[in-house]
Amino acid sequence: QVQLVESGGGLVQAGGSLRLSCAASGRTFISFAMGWFRQAPGNEREFVAAITWSGATTHYADSVKGRFTISGTNAKNTVYLQMNSLKPEDTAVYYCAATRSTYIYAARRYEYWGQGTQVTVSS
């Protein structure tokens, strides 16, 4: 069984920064990409960012481009999300996920999920 564990969420004022971490444990698995999604109350889970291990390319939602940076290491199945210039609309539960699919933008394509970590940005 594969487990993804997130950490690093919390409460921050608008304009502040947070760094989320996600580490995989359990049986060995090979993923094409790892990503971050978020879900605010009453909203669907939405794509935030992803990193593909082939070429280490990164992908971002338009709403976070220039403010968030995803990084990670394939060998350790570890991924990070550096979030700067946070806004109240970034408030959500953030989920780490891993996929073997090449279509990285859809949550349904991800096989493994973490339990989520709350990020709250106050105005």
CA 26 to CA 4: how far, in whole Å? Answer: 9
State the average pLDDT over residues 41-67.
94
Give yes or no for residue 112 having a pLDDT over 90: yes
Give yes or no for residue 60 having a pLDDT over 90: yes
Which residue bears the tokens 């989520």?
116
Give yes or no for residue 28 having a pLDDT over 80: no
Sign of torsion over alpha carbons 87, 45, 27, 3:
positive
Can you give the pLDDT at residue 1? 80
* Range in 60-64, 84-88, 100-104 the model is least confident about: 100-104
